[in-house]
Structures are given as structure tokens and as C-alpha cells.
Amino acid sequence: MTRTTTTRAARTLRFWAVPVVVAGVAVTAACAPIETTRPYSPSDGLRVDLTDDLRAVNLLMITAAEGKPGTLVGAFANDSREDVEFEIAPEGGAALSIPVDAGDAVYLGADDGFDAQLGSVPEPPGGVLPMTVRVSTGEEKTVPVPVVDGTLEEYAPYVP
């Protein structure tokens, strides 16, 4: 092999190296999801998307102990153009009905929100309570709602 052939091969390799690397990086970036566009609950609670317009946000059950009364905190949001009624029921328990106007949200457990109390929470703090979330339009999901106690000072005021 002569020096001219080696130089030509090296130039060809350098010519194609940059476009190949750039194409590889572009393909890798295109396959990665954009994390900031994914809906999530920025708290200890659980998010439940029933439709694009109807959802529960940051659902969390607060109780002193297993078998004691509990307070459900979080919110129900209705971005649709129709008034709806959400229902949430613990496994084997009575449902709570929460009406939410079109384009509005109702906060649970907040001072000016909906008082959502359970007479007895069948799971201990640190566990999860299976709850079914329904909306009057027909959608429903059963989800594991986290159960906490008042150990953290931000939850202490909500312990019944």
C-alpha cells in the first residue's frame, strides 16, 4: 500500500466520521422521551388520570394508625366543559362523592376544600390503600393510595 492510498483512505474516513457521529447522536436523542412533558405528582400522593381532562392529583390518606379514622387529601381536577361528579371508595368501603364544576378543581382536606373523611382506615401508615376512583362519565380506575401518619409536620394537622 502506498502513502497516497493511505492518505486518501484517511481523508475519506475523516470526511465520513463527523456526519456518522452526528447522525448517531441525533438518533439517540430522538429515542429518549422528554421527561418534563410527562404528568406526575410532585408530592407523596398519587396521580390518577381518568381521561385527558379528568384526573385526581396527589391522593394521600392520613391516619394515626390502622383501624383509626383517616383524612383523604389531594384534589380532583376537571378540565372538561361539563360538570362531573367524582367518586372515590376504599376497597370494601363506602364511596365519597365530590362534585367538580367544568374547568375547576376541588381540593380535599384543605381549609376551604372538601372534607373527605373515612371512619376507619384498614391499612397502617406506610402501607397502601386500594381505592377506586370513578367519574360520572363512566371512567374508573383502582389505584394504591399511600397511607401516612402525622410524623411529618406538614401532615400532622390532617390526622383526625
> CA–CA separation, 59 vs 152, rounded Å?
16
Domain count, the chain: 2
* Predicted TM-score of the model (pTM): 0.72
Bridge partners of 98?
86
Q: Both 137 and 70 in a single domain?
A: yes
Q: Both 10 and 59 in a single domain?
A: no
> CA–CA separation, 35 vs 151, rounded Å?
32
pLDDT digit of tens for each residue in the chain (160 aa)? 555 556 776 676 677 767 777 766 666 666 666 656 666 566 778 899 999 999 999 999 999 999 999 999 999 999 999 999 999 999 878 889 999 999 999 999 867 778 888 889 999 999 999 999 999 989 999 999 999 999 999 999 989 8
Alpha helices in the chain (DSSP H): 3-31
Q: Both 86 and 151 in a single domain?
A: yes
Which CATH number does the domain housing residue 146 bear? 2.60.40.10
> CA–CA separation, 18 vs 12, rounded Å?
11
Q: Both 22 and 94 in a single domain?
A: no
Domain range holding 56?
46-158
